[in-house]
């Protein structure tokens, strides 16, 4: 019998994210998994400095939801070719896990965002236990553990009941994708579980991370300037 994946609640927003606010869905799921309620997910309504300054501070991660257009996919391929040619530096402290099942990019993006700032967001179990048990595993092994983790499944069921939304199956075609942007050891990383490794987007600091990450988001957007299906959510400390 095929085991039902525990990762489906968050994925509903890949298909019909206009039904709910992304920040509410993210918080519902992550709070149930043990993220401190001193932290919150909040919508980013614009990427210019004045609008970014209105967000609660500090912001420690961004999650970008974007359409997988041909222009964006082409730019992505070109970036990977450049990395293969020139190489890149990736901190060993980056927590990276692969996405090995379909339509799990929302869950993977959330885990990338939260687990890379776990010291700041004061994780409790089950997220804390998940982080400890997968710390020494490879990205593929972390993905396998994630797929069968019962705590994720329980949180999914509770969140699905409260959110009252049905997610797509792993076989459904979804034309939107989530990535996380995080700061680790002075560099900003694009965390995409479908890739083989994180993408280093250059130097950043705790003070400049939000503006630096916004520029990475703008790089995605400039490949399809007439496309409106971009959404950005920040992980920030509550005021």
* Catalytic annotation, residues: 105, 177
For 39, phi then psi, to 5°, come to -115, 160
Instruction: Tell me the DSSP string of 168-196.
Output: PPTTS---EEEEEEEEETTEEEEE-TTSS
Q: Are 66 and 230 in contact (CB under 8 A)?
A: yes
Beta bridge mates, 130: none
Q: Are 127 and 34 in contact (CB under 8 A)?
A: yes
Q: Are 109 and 26 in contact (CB under 8 A)?
A: no
Separation between Cα atoms, residue 39 and residue 202, nearest integer Å: 26
Which phi-psi region, left, alpha or beta, contains residue 159 (left: φ > 0; alpha: ψ -120 to 50)?
alpha
- Token pair, residue 137, equals 């595993």
3-state secondary structure of 101: coil
Separation between Cα atoms, residue 34 and residue 19, nearest integer Å: 25
């Amino acid at each position: 019998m095929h085991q039902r994946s525990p990762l489906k609640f968050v994925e509903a927003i890949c298909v019909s994210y206009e039904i709910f606010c992304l920040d509410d869905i993210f918080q519902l799921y992550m709070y149930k998994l043990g993220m401190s309620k001193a932290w919150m997910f909040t919508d980013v309504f614009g990427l210019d400095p004045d609008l970014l300054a209105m967000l609660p501070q500090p912001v420690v991660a961004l999650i970008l939801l974007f359409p997988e257009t041909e222009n964006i996919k082409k730019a992505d391929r070109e970036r990977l070719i450049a990395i293969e040619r020139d190489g890149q530096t990736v901190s060993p402290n980056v927590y990276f896990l692969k996405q090995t099942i379909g339509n799990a990019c929302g869950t993977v993006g959330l885990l990338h965002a939260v687990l890379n700032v776990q010291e700041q967001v004061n994780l409790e179990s089950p997220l804390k236990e998940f982080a400890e048990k997968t710390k020494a595993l490879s990205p593929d092994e972390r993905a396998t553990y994630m797929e069968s983790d019962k705590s994720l499944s329980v949180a999914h069921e509770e969140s699905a009941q409260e959110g009252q939304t049905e997610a797509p199956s792993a076989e459904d075609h979804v034309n939107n994708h989530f990535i996380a942007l995080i700061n680790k050891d002075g560099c900003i990383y694009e965390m995409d579980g479908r890739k083989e490794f994180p993408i280093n987007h250059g130097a950043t600091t705790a003070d400049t991370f939000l503006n630096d990450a916004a520029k990475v988001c703008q790089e995605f957007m400039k490949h399809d300037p007439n496309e409106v299906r971009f959404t950005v959510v920040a992980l920030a400390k509550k005021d």
